[in-house]
């Protein structure tokens, strides 16, 4: 997937946190340890450094939601992270993103911390980020 395609899909999936731009995807994809998995209906972007993986972002097109796509992408992220040597994985999720929190909980991620006011909503509100972790 091109940075432009990733940005378009991300924009269809997010308002908070703000959607990432093509240039941001391009920079991330050129970074060591970064990988992307998926297709036009959804993708996951991750990074492995040493023995730790970070799920940087995941996006599923609105018309492809509630069909197991997110669950499959998380599983693919974990498989790829393990193949790259990761023993643990972590991610950040907006505290008010109930569907994503349910997805990660079902996948075995547990609360490891909170970043107060980390995200900015379009209306200016501040939203906490929950840091979730899982042993792979």
CA distance 55 to 86: 12
Length of the chain as a residue count = 136
- pLDDT score, position 95: 96
Q: Is 16's pLDDT higher than 90?
A: no
Task: Assess contact for 13 and 22: CB atoms under 8 A.
Answer: no
Which of these is catalytic: 52, 78, 87, 92? 92
CA distance 115 to 134: 18
Domain boundaries, the chain: 3-135
Q: Is 118 a catalytic residue?
A: no
Task: Assess contact for 68 and 106: CB atoms under 8 A.
Answer: no
CATH tag, 3-135: 3.40.630.30
Please report which confidence band the pLDDT of residue 17 belongs to, taking 50, 70 and 90 as the band edges: confident
SS (H, E, C) the chain: CCHHHHHHHHHHHCCCCCCCCHHHHHHHHCCCCEEEEEECCEEEEEEEECCEEEEEEEEECHHHCCCCHHHHHHHHHHHHHHHCCCCEEEEEEECCCHHHHHHHHHCCCEEEEEEEEEEECCCCCEEEEEEEEEEC
Q: Is 104 a catalytic residue?
A: yes
| Per-residue pLDDT reduced to its tens digit, 68-111 | 999 999 999 999 999 999 999 999 999 999 999 999 999 999 99
- pLDDT score, position 14: 87
132 forms beta bridges with 91, 111
Kind of pairing between the strands at 34-39 and 42-49: antiparallel
Which of these is catalytic: 104, 109, 118, 119? 104
Record the pTM. Answer: 0.94
| Per-residue pLDDT reduced to its tens digit, 23-56 | 999 999 999 999 999 999 999 999 999 999 999 9
């Amino acid at each position: 997937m091109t940075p432009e395609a990733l940005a378009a899909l991300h924009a269809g999936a997010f308002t908070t946190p703000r959607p990432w731009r093509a240039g941001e995807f391009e920079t991330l994809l050129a970074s060591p340890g970064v990988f992307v998995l998926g297709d036009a209906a959804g993708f996951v972007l991750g990074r492995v450094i040493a023995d730790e993986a970070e799920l940087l972002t995941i996006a599923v097109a609105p018309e492809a939601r509630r069909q197991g796509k997110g669950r499959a992408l998380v599983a693919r992220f974990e498989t790829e992270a393990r193949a790259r040597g990761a023993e643990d994985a972590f991610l950040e999720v907006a505290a008010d993103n109930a569907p994503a929190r349910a997805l990660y909980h079902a996948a075995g991620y547990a609360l490891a911390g909170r970043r107060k006011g980390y995200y900015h909503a379009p209306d200016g509100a501040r939203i906490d980020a929950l840091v979730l972790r899982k042993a792979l």
